[in-house]
Amino acid sequence: AMVMPDCGAPGAPGAIASARDLVEGYLEELSPQACASRVLVVDHDDSFTRNLVHMLQELGVVPTVVRAFGAQVATAPYGSVVLSPGPGDPANDSDVGISRGLVGDCLDVPILGVCLGHQLLARAHGAEVGRARCPMHGRSSTVRLEPAAAEDPVFRGLPEAFDAVRYHSLAVRAEGRLPPCLVPLAHAEEADGSRTLMALRHRTLPRWGVQYHPESIGSQHGLRLLGNFVDVVRRLALGR
């Protein structure tokens, strides 16, 4: 079942001092395996967050959901973070809340960003996010993997092309513009012949982003992708 931490006003007893407190919690009191089974899901007020939570539960991990807006009490340690989809712009603090601090503070904690979470990760590492040339809302596209995805653990076992549902008006501007620290993993070909980045990873940090919605019933291989991310978290916790 989901665990919902209480809210605390900034500076109040029990309120977090920094975004990192949300993730670290009481790591020293848990085994690496137990910590890896706990994932912090940051909800940007999006209905798809519930789908993500249900899929993570199906994979045997314990998701704790916190809203992105307002101080939160650190009630447990977390081995990874999932940044949910959501409306808004990753450039606006009012649209991402505590997620910007998590991305900035928790460099060694595995993070998976979905849609808005993907855009936030990309922007935090120097990529441009702007109006998509072909906005997509509730429509399916063929996602095609880049060569780098063949050796990426989160995309292990996924076919070179599969269908996925998209809901976004913004996109990471990738063609010739991605900073060296970000590796493109997938794209979609648009009706006008352009390409839109659908997935990326950080070159050295355990961070992945997907623009499409793997948690949608209309997306193929979503559970496999999330399962691969969970496996990566577990292996990192064990030092493998």
Q: How many CA atoms lie within 13 A of 213 on its CB side?
A: 23
Structure token digits, residue 223: 């559970």
pLDDT of residue 204: 97
Is residue 151 classed as helix, strand or coil in its secondary structure? helix
Domain assignment of residue 95, yes or no:
yes
Q: pLDDT digits over 172-225, tens only? A: 998 778 999 999 999 999 888 889 999 999 999 999 999 999 999 999 999 999
Instruction: Please tell me which of 4-8, 30-34, 138-142, 202-206 the model is most confident about, judged by mean pLDDT.
Output: 202-206
CATH number at 46 reads 3.40.50.880
More confident residue, 32 or 167: 167
* Average of per-residue pLDDT values in the chain: 85
Beta strand spans in the chain (E): 38-43, 62-67, 80-83, 111-114, 128-145, 161-173, 182-189, 195-202, 207-210
Domain assignment of residue 221, yes or no:
yes
pTM (predicted TM-score) = 0.87
- The reply to whether 115 belongs to the active site is yes
Domain assignment of residue 104, yes or no:
yes
Separation between Cα atoms, residue 21 and residue 15, nearest integer Å = 9
Domain assignment of residue 120, yes or no:
yes
Is residue 136 classed as helix, strand or coil in its secondary structure? strand
pLDDT of residue 121: 98
Separation between Cα atoms, residue 69 and residue 71, nearest integer Å = 7
As to burial, measured by CB atoms within 10 angstroms (0-12 exposed, 13-18 middle, 19+ buried), residue 135 is middle
- The reply to whether 215 belongs to the active site is yes
Query: Residue 113: which domain range?
Result: 19-127+200-237
Q: pLDDT digits over 129-175, tens only? A: 988 877 677 788 999 999 999 999 999 999 999 999 998 889 999 87
Domain assignment of residue 53, yes or no:
yes
Q: Single out the residue of 195, 114, 199, 121 nearest to residue 155, CA to CA.
A: 199
Band (pLDDT 50/70/90 cuts) for residue 5 is very low
Number of compact structural domains in the chain: 1
Domain assignment of residue 172, yes or no:
no
Q: pLDDT digits over 91-120, tens only? A: 999 999 999 999 998 888 999 999 999 999
Please report which residue ranges of the chain form alpha helices under DSSP H. Answer: 19-24, 32-36, 48-58, 93-96, 99-105, 116-124, 222-237
Catalytic residue among 44, 125, 213, 221: 213
Domain assignment of residue 87, yes or no:
yes
Structure token digits, residue 36: 């890896």
Catalytic residue among 115, 118, 146, 187: 115
Domain assignment of residue 10, yes or no:
no
pLDDT of residue 107: 86
